[in-house]
Structure 1
Amino acid sequence: MEEHLSSLTTEMRNQNTTHIDTADTIDILTVMNEEDQKVALAVKKVLPKVKVAVEYAFESLKKGGRLIYIGAGTSGRLGVLDAVECPPTFSTSPETVLGIMAGGEKAFVKAVEGAEDNAELGKTDLEAIHLTSNDTVIGIAASGRTPYVVGALQYARSIGAKAVALSCNENARISQVADHAIEVIVGPEVLTGSTRMKAATAHKMILNMISTTTMIRLGKAYENLMVDVHVSNHKLKERAINIIKTVTGTSYDVAKETLEKANYEVKTAIVMIKTEKTYNEAKALLAEAGGYVSKAISLNKGE
């Protein structure tokens, strides 16, 4: 595959930046900013493709499966970053959204040379977490040709898990071995081949979209508020109290007291105040509503 590397969009020279080595600092920053503005528009073009990935993830989590990101280098780190932010943001179990990268956890802070070239390792790493057909696997590779990701997606698909390829090149190799492909074309990088720039930015945006939209679909938001936030420190407690105040119109003290009575479960506290129910009654309403706050409140009203 090496002979085709130079033909990839992500490896081409950007004609807008051929003189950045002699440019002033502000001119370098300006051209970077101009190129970055193209990223959101590139992502916009693939939103229908992202929608499919969200549906896969939603169905997986709804039936007890997992959302798993897998990649190497920057791509792998982006997956890990998105995964580890789900528990504090949405109160998910650490096993619900996983990020796996070639070379293991140590590769997050220090490159493990050669790990990404091993397709068998991609399969092995998914076997190690006992991948099942209920899971959705999103393989991330800016080039779209990383053997580690190819191996992972091939294995995922072979056992019936949903396999999604996320790359920044058309007709990517990983697209050919997946159930579904998202190819977000951001164009040549400011610094040729440095896919930690525009390509990584596009992938960060898309991963945020996939996880956040999936969680919203699962009932972890009320209006545009994070009502399933995990209250694990003072900042998050204050955020939780303010969310309860905003939704219910109650005072700070009442919101704080109810949050404590609700075992620091924001959704339960909101339902308690909105329906004037006890903790156990509010929990029962939420369970009947499948975890959706608005539905739980409607059930109490008999709507």
Structure 2
Amino acid sequence: MTERPTEQSGSYRGIDTWPDVQILEALVAGQERAIAAVRQATPAIAEAADRLARRLSAGGRLAYAGAGTSIRVAVQDGSELPATFGMPEAKILYLIAGGRAAMFDTLADAEDDEADGAAQADDLTAADTVIAVAASGSTPFTVAVAKRAREKGAFVIAVVNNAGSKLAAAADLEILLATGPEVIAGSTRLAAGTAQKAALNLLSTLTHIKLGAVHDGLMVNVETGNAKLRRRAAGIVAAIAGVEVARADEALDLAGGHVKPAVLMCAGAKDIAAAQRLLDAANGNLRLAIARNADT
């Protein structure tokens, strides 16, 4: 069988004898190739974001699936979505080879457990979307998740680093990150992991831009769970509404810490109920709600 590109050795013979800076330069070059691979995949990422946004808007959930480094990268992406974009925790699922313990412990054999992969996907529905991540594209657990998810009618996005993979064949849409050989052969925590992190970041960010969680580069669904985030939210309200931070802070109090209705009250909505009606009519899109508020 032909060796997968991510498992092949590159031109790094004797790297352990090189000067430190030369080693680091080789590692940095590998990271640069990773980002170049993500750039080549932007059309597929854009298509995936469009599909995901529409499915989330219709009430579906998002599930991340994988093993080892791949699922650790995926969980990092998903765990940031509630605080950054206000995505409900209940809408995010994690299908992890070996379970949550595998996030911290090396449970290497868990990635071979096809039965567990299929079982973890059993609760998925046709409304859900799965992002299945595997550098090799052949991880048995992750392939089994993808197959069962599609049997359930879910939409499956495969994020892989090798072309022609089993995971891509089991998915509805492939995001191929052709990172090639690693500086340390087979260590996909390096370039492959970087490409996965960047691609998932782009996918989830574009998805939430399309869902109205971003306005002029500002996080208008940010949660205000601590003092730092509260200050950030007040600054966002002040910047969008063109008011002093003190006024923005008052509006945030009235809006229960939610940026969008606070902006609308600063922009002239008479109370929280009026602001919420504007948002509901605009399907949560702040720009459209502001325009409608100006017309009233």
The normalised TM-score by structure 1 is 0.95
2:143 paired with 1:150: yes
1:87 maps to which residue?
82
1:100 maps to which residue?
95
Structure 1 letter corresponding to 2:174: A
Q: Is the 8 A contact 1:70 1:99 kept in 2?
A: yes
Deviates more, 1:293-302 or 1:148-157: 293-302
Distance in 2, matches of 1:131 and 1:174, equals 18
Structure 2 letter corresponding to 1:188: P
Distance apart, 1:56 and its partner CA: 2.1
Distance in 1, matches of 2:252 and 2:295, equals 25
2:15 paired with 1:20: yes
Distance apart, 1:277 and its partner CA: 2.5
2:36 paired with 1:38: no
Distance in 1, matches of 2:264 and 2:215, equals 11
1:68 maps to which residue?
63
2:160 paired with 1:167: yes
The normalised TM-score by structure 2 is 0.97
1:8 maps to which residue?
4
Q: Is the 8 A contact 2:162 2:177 kept in 1?
A: yes
2:222 maps to which residue?
229
Distance apart, 1:300 and its partner CA: 1.8
2:281 maps to which residue?
288
TM alignment of 1:128-277, pairs within 5 A? 130-277=123-270
Q: Is the 8 A contact 1:80 1:100 kept in 2?
A: no
2:106 maps to which residue?
111
Structure 2 letter corresponding to 1:184: L
Q: Is the 8 A contact 2:46 2:206 kept in 1?
A: no
Q: Is the 8 A contact 1:184 1:202 kept in 2?
A: yes
Q: Is the 8 A contact 2:10 2:181 kept in 1?
A: yes
Distance in 2, matches of 1:113 and 1:204, equals 21
Say which SS state the counterpart of residue 214 (structure 2) adopts. Answer: coil
Deviates more, 1:274-283 or 1:225-234: 274-283
Distance in 2, matches of 1:83 and 1:290, equals 23
Give the fraction of aligned pairs with identical amino acids, expressed as a percent. 36
Distance apart, 1:18 and its partner CA: 2.0
Distance in 2, matches of 1:275 and 1:135, equals 38
Structure 1 letter corresponding to 2:268: T
From 43, 47, 50, the equivalent of 1:52 is 47
Structure 1 gaps of 5+ residues are: none
Q: Give per-residue Cα distances to partners, 1:228-248, cap 9 Å, x unaligned.
A: 001001110111011112112
Q: Give per-residue Cα distances to partners, 1:171-201, cap 9 Å, x unaligned.
A: 0111111111111101110111000000010
Distance apart, 1:48 and its partner CA: 1.1
Say which SS state the counterpart of residue 99 (structure 1) adopts. Answer: strand
Say which SS state the counterpart of residue 229 (structure 1) adopts. Answer: coil
Deviates more, 1:43-52 or 1:184-193: 43-52
Distance in 2, matches of 1:114 and 1:301, equals 60
Q: Give per-residue Cα distances to partners, 1:109-128, cap 9 Å, x unaligned.
A: 1122311101121111122x
Structure 1 letter corresponding to 2:143: V
Distance in 1, matches of 2:10 and 2:203, equals 29
Distance in 2, matches of 1:245 and 1:297, equals 14
Distance apart, 1:276 and its partner CA: 3.8
Q: Give per-residue Cα distances to partners, 1:101-148, cap 9 Å, x unaligned.
A: 101111101122311101121111122xx2100011111000010000
Distance in 2, matches of 1:240 and 1:45, equals 35
Say which SS state the counterpart of residue 185 (structure 2) adopts. Answer: coil
Distance in 1, matches of 2:288 and 2:180, equals 44
